[in-house]
Amino acid sequence: LPSQAALGCRAAQVLMQYCILANHYWFLVEAVYLYKLLIGAVFSEKNYYRLYLYLGWGTPVVFVVPWMAAKYLKENPGWAAGGGGAGLRVPHAVFPQINLLIFMRILKVILAKLRANQKGYADYKLRLAKATLTLIPLFGIHEVVFIFATDEQTTGILRYVKVFFTLFLNSFQGFLVAVLYCFANKEVKSEMKKKWQLWKLDH
């Protein structure tokens, strides 16, 4: 490839790996935030907003920069054409496991709260199942299923199944989270109705 085209390919590869990791670590931020919200720690005086920003946007840089340097120094000139993130498997593998642990702790807290209010929530098992299914896309728990099924280990139909589910879930994850946690939220819907009514009055 001409040097300019090769540079563009490498930049695209680095950006893609950074975005994938940032996506993963923002799931981790959401998990930590929700857990702190449930146990009441989010209302403490300390502001965690900046820490969340560093964790979500900064953690991927810690992994991507050394990976980029290693690829450039060890695999030059053809690394941009390669499969990409083999050297980033550790950070890809760590986040789902941490999220799974937080997910289990959150379910334990939700179960305890639902059992404590059993009289108010006769259908607490159904509510727990609903909460579980709702949290899976928010925390990226589906990533745990394919954590040990690497590209080298999966062949034939299993590889196609893995690629399909990974691409499908990753592609619609943001949309699903937006629907469940934003557009289906009563407060959000109430605010949108207010804005719509104000817009109609103005026009």
What's residue 23's pLDDT? 82
189: CB partners within 8 A, 6+ apart: 183
100 and 54 in one domain? Answer: no
What's the number of domains the chain is made of? 2
* Peptide linkage before 60 cis (omega within 30 of 0): no
For residue 181, is it within any domain?
A: no
Indicate if the pLDDT at residue 121 is higher than 60. Answer: no
pTM: 0.66
Give me the domain span that covers residue 38: 1-75
Helix pair 124-139, 89-116: axis angle to 10 deg: 160
Question: pLDDT by residue (tens digit) across 136-184?
Answer: 777 777 677 666 666 666 677 877 887 787 778 777 777 877 787 778 7
For residue 177, is it within any domain?
A: no
Total number of residues shown for the chain: 203
Question: pLDDT by residue (tens digit) across 41-84?
Answer: 545 556 678 888 888 899 889 988 988 888 878 765 545 444 44
Q: For the chain, state the CA radius of gyration.
A: 21
* Peptide linkage before 91 cis (omega within 30 of 0): no
94 and 71 in one domain? Answer: no
